[in-house]
Amino acid sequence: MFERFTKDAREVVQGAVGQAERAGAPCVEAEHMLLALLEREGSRASFALASLGLAGERKESVREAVAEARRRAGLSQADADALAGLGIDVSEIVARVEEVHGVGAMSGDRKDRGWWPGRRTFGRSAKQVLERSLHTAVAHGDRHIGDEHVLLALTDRAGVPAEVLAGHGVTHESLIRLLYGDGQAKAG
């Protein structure tokens, strides 16, 4: 599948691996792919994000929201709200765990346990994004998978990346309109 990836899409994947390594995460997840996309410049995805108002300080707000979700062990706000409906206060659980084990203890990052040798594997969420990016490209008649397809895939599945992006005005529907217009023509 990676032979169909454009240079920009490959750089997003490489950037996601770098994000996971810097965080000390044992594997690459969808959140790392979102963070890597935020670093891109001069690509279709970066154009789309900027066109939808996600630039500068707003990108930092996205990074902070992703970091907060990682503190909640990757639970989206919707998940936390659902648990609150059952009487489970995720914020209280996070506070108690961090009181004993330190800030970020629930994130799954392993900064305090040394470097993981070898290549980072891709977690379930990252694999689903990569598969979905292929399906998205094919569905729109594109021969190659670009970073815009990775961005579309992130917004097309439930989870932290889609929730955070939607909270900043970037939805699957708004991206489709921007990138493909009425579904006939392609941008750029």
Domains with residue ranges and CATH for the chain:
2-71+108-180 (1.10.1780.10)
Mean pLDDT over 41-60 rounds to 94
Q: Quick check: 97 pLDDT over 50?
A: yes
pTM: 0.81
The answer to whether residues 157 and 31 touch, using CB atoms and an 8 Å cutoff, is no
Residue with more model confidence, 82 or 42: 42
For residue 112, name the pLDDT band (cuts at 50, 70, 90): very low
For residue 188, name the pLDDT band (cuts at 50, 70, 90): very low
Listed in sequence order, the residues at least 6 apart from 65 whose beta carbon sits closer than 8 Å to its beta carbon are 164, 167, 168
